[in-house]
Every structure is written in structure tokens, then in C-alpha cells.
Structure 1
Amino acid sequence: MKNWIKILLSFVVIIVYATMVSSSAKKKYSAKPAPITFKVPNYEYAPPTQSSVGSTDLKILLLEPRFNEKFKYADYRIFNDFSKFMAGDINESLTAKGYTVRGPFENYEGALYTDKVESDLLLNVQIDFDLNDQNVIWNGTEILVSGKRKTAVYNTQYKFSGFFVLSGKLNLSLSEPITKEKIWVKNIPLKQRKINIISSGVYKNLRDYTAAFEAEPSFSNPFVTTMQDYYKEILDIAWTNLDPNELASLKKYTKEIREKKKY
């Protein structure tokens, strides 16, 4: 009798376990994918080498990097954060090369007169981006808001899909800090990058991506990845071109300009 009880209990355990496994498998199969979250940019740069502070006899007045005036997306958070983070890393790179740095200042007016007088060169960093959206296709649908027939009022709702192309160049310039007369200029092309986007949102304004950047991770995240690539590329370019061996020879021009202007 006891053997039959053991067999029966074993049989029940097997059935219960099989049911649990089956139920678990169904849950896993029917589980919804986790929602996409916004990617947080990782803007970090480590200078390739380190020199002692002030080992290069050159004082640089540094302004925060700026986008060119025609870049209409400059105030979008993703691009604004990009330039703000870069200011600190350019400062760190210049210091690692042995320069003495004053700044970075948000703009020229933010620097004190003594900062300008006591600096040898004024460094401007301009990010000249071009974001092309010709391959982003917008489709509109008219939605009845009120009225009927002749008095009907419609609003157009838009959806879009496709890809962007981001390209541009990095413009570096060194000037005499008081007169802002340019002494040295370099314009370096940046790699062109394709940004594939996914959007399921519905929008009111044609060719306006403000809401998409704020609301859709699937739209915004590919930009974050691209901007991280550009971040390293730009700082590598700046590191290579702001060479103390070349810049040290420019100090004499600052002296000449100040003598001419009687500063």
C-alpha cells in the first residue's frame, strides 16, 4: 500500500512540475519586450599623453565650442550637451599639452580684461555641422476637427521615416586676445555619417523634430551613438592640430599686433 502511495505522490509531483514548466514557457513566450529607454550620452575623452602644467610657455584664452550660426539644431538638447561637455575636455587636452589655460568662457564678453591681456592666444572652436533630412519622408493625414462639408476644419497629422546624413568640419582659429585679429586658422573635414531613425509618433509640424527628440528613444538614440563618435573624432583632431611646436611660433604675432595697436 505504501508503495502505491509513493508512486501516486511521485506522479502528482511530476504533473505539477510539468504544469509549472509549461506555464513558465508560455509566460516567457508571451512576455512583451521591455520598452526602449533614452540612451544617456557618454562624452569622455582621455588625452593620449600628459605634460606637466605650464611646461609650454603659452597662455591660451579658451572659449566654449560653438556651432556655426546656420545650424538650426544647435539649441536641441542633444547638440547643446555635446558642445558643453566638449569645453571641459578641450581644456583638459590643452592642459595635458602643457599650455596654461584661462577659461573656458561661455563667450568672449565673459572673459575679464586681465584674462585677455595676460593670454597669448585666443582659441575659438567652431563645429560646422550640416544635418541633411532630405531622405526623411513625411506623410500627412487630414483629421477632421470640427464642422461638416463646407464648414469642416481639418488638422494635418504627420508621420515620418528614413534617415539623416550628418557631415561638416571642425574650424579652429587662434587670434590675438584683445583685438581678436586672426593669426592661425584650420578647417578640418569631419567624416560623413548616416543616421537611421525609427519613428512611430504622430506630429503636428512638418519637418520639426523637436517633439521626436523629446518623446521617442527610437528616434533620439541613433543620434546619441553618432554624436559619441563625432566627439572622439573632433577631440582627436584638436589634439593633433593644437601642437605646441607649431603654436609656440605664433606668440610673436600677438606681440606685433599689440605694438601696432598700442596695447
Structure 2
Amino acid sequence: MKKEVTNKVKRIDTEVDRLRMRRKDTDTLKVTENVFDEPTLKTLYTLSSKGILKAMGGPISTGKEANVFLAEGEDRDIAVKIYRISSSTFNSMEDYILGDPRFRNVRHSKRDIIFAWTKKEQRNLIRAKEVGIRVPEPIVAERNVLVMEFLGENEKPYPQLKDIRLDKEVAREAYDTIIHYIDVLYKEANLVHGDLSEYNILVVPETNEPVFIDMGQSVTSEHPRSRDFLLRDIENIVRYFKKYGIDEDPHGLYSSIRDKEEKTQIIDS
């Protein structure tokens, strides 16, 4: 039931021109301005040729640096995240790139950094999933395109934490799970989300299970600002859950996570 399909990537030669024309007249495609440039369309065609992608659907979300689209995979719906090359800036990326050893050998052109950023998000998701954190399962990263598991039902994504109201008992369980995820992510996956808030957490309606998304900016503990990012993540979550009567000290939680890490390092040594 893909009535909103806007682009059959297998017809790339004719669709490039068609997309350019329809952008002027279609509100949906105005959202995708500067997304479907020719190199990106070629990447989508490559994914189509490999059988990973059958058709692109409508937009799920629009972020500062990327757009996410619902798409049709071989046997299930998938999410396709496209980092914009022509219109993106590095204002929101720079803090995470500088000091990350994974960018050490990357050329400092916009294209190469975005390609590396896309690969990094794929690896971050893999590492998070390996330690038991609920995240979208990454399928493949190709240049500036990341293909992931679609988290939703009936072509609608799961809601963001900011958009739902939980009862107090469920809110407490969700809060405890999120703090546990931050802890496990830091100590077992050696990662800090770096931009965690009610905007970057989905909630599974049936179970109220939180899901971490948007992990492109996540950094390893070796990053010079990793501890700043860790504290900020904790502060954002504590701030949000205050409205449910949960009042905890973010600095205390931060110290607890750091103390456990240091004790583990002493034991391991």
C-alpha cells in the first residue's frame, strides 16, 4: 500500500528530471529539497540493484543534517536516512568530529566527512545493539545513505517520547530503562549518545519500551568532550522526567556511572 511512493529508484534516468519538476509543485517534495541530488540517486539505484531497496516512500522526519524516508525493502518496510551533501553544514557536527579518532584519517571535504559520519552511525548502532540497547537495526551504509529497520506500524513510525503521555508508574519504568541504557552504552559499548533527549527516543506503544535513535553524533569515551556529552545526556533526561515527579540529581547519576567505570578499570588492570 505505497500510495505515497515518490520515486522508483530503478527508473533513475527519467526520475531525476521528474523530481526536479515536481519539487516546484508538490509540498511533499519541497521537504526533500537538496536531498535527491544525482549522486544520491545513483546511490539509491545501487541499493536497488542489490535488492535492498525496492521503492522510496514519503518522508518520516527532517533533521538538521538528514532526512529519513519510509521505503519498501525486499520483504519489509525499511527506513532510509539520507545525509544531505549539498545543503548540510558542519556547525552541528564539528564538536563531535574534532577529537574523534575515527575521523583522524578522513579528508576534510564535506563529502568525505559526511560519508564517514554515515558509516560511524552504522557502527554506533551495531555497538549499541550488541550490548542490548534497543535501537534501529542497521542494514547497510552506502556513501551518504543509511538503511535501517523501520520502527513503526502500518507505515507510521513509533512516537517520539516528547509526543506521548505516560502514567507515573510507566514513566518511572521508562526513565529507569533510559538511565540503564546510558550506563550500559558508556561502560559496555564505550559510547556516549551525545544528543540524547525526548526528541531522540522513540517509544514502542504496546510495551512502552524506549528506543534510542539518531546516533550519528555518538562518540567514544576517548573523545575529549565525551564526559561533557555524557553529563548533558543525563541532564536532558532528568529534566524531561521531572514532570512525572521523578526528581534525581544528574550530577549524582553521572558520578555513579563514572565511579563504576573507574572501579571496573582498576579491577581489569
TM-score normalised to the size of structure 2? 0.21
Q: When you count strand as a share of all residues, which structure comes out higher? A: 1
Relative CO higher for 1 or 2, CA cutoff 8 Å, sep ≥ 6? 1
- The higher radius of gyration belongs to 1
